[in-house]
Structure 1
Amino acid sequence: MKINVGSADRVVRILVGALLLGAHFAGYIGAWGWLGVVPLMTGIFRICPAYLPFGISTCKTK
């Protein structure tokens, strides 16, 4: 698969994912915190399946 998540997008995804999971484990939010896995994984692997059908890419082109 082609990388389609750029640097700024990646940082935001990892932060949001980590915050959601952290809030869940700290007891601030319920099971909704597990949704943080999605942005965390898309940020780590730099591939967003939701971008693919639309041809969106936040990576800088060479």
Structure 2
Amino acid sequence: MKSNVGGIDKIARIAVGIVLILLALTGTIGVWGWIGVVPLATGLFNFCPAYKLFGISTCKLKQ
């Protein structure tokens, strides 16, 4: 897997994922909050399958 998630995108994904999971755990938003696992995982692994599908990358280019 080639990294395609970087910088601010990574931090935002991890933050949103954690917030959604915490809201699900507290019962605030119900079961749908567990969808936060997806942005959390893509942020931690630096890889987003949807980005690969559409040819998008937010990583800085290595020269």
Same topology, TM > 0.5: yes
Query: How many residue pairs were aligned?
Result: 62
Consecutive unaligned residues in structure 2, runs of 5 or more: none
Structural RMSD (CA): 0.6
Compute the TM-score of the two structures, normalised by the length of structure 1: 0.96
Letter matched to residue 54 of structure 2: F
Correspondence for 1:3: 3
Correspondence for 1:43: 43
Deviation at 1:27, TM superposition (A): 1.2
Compute the TM-score of the two structures, normalised by the length of structure 2: 0.95
Consecutive unaligned residues in structure 1, runs of 5 or more: none
Letter matched to residue 50 of structure 1: A
User: Percent identity at matched positions?
Assistant: 60
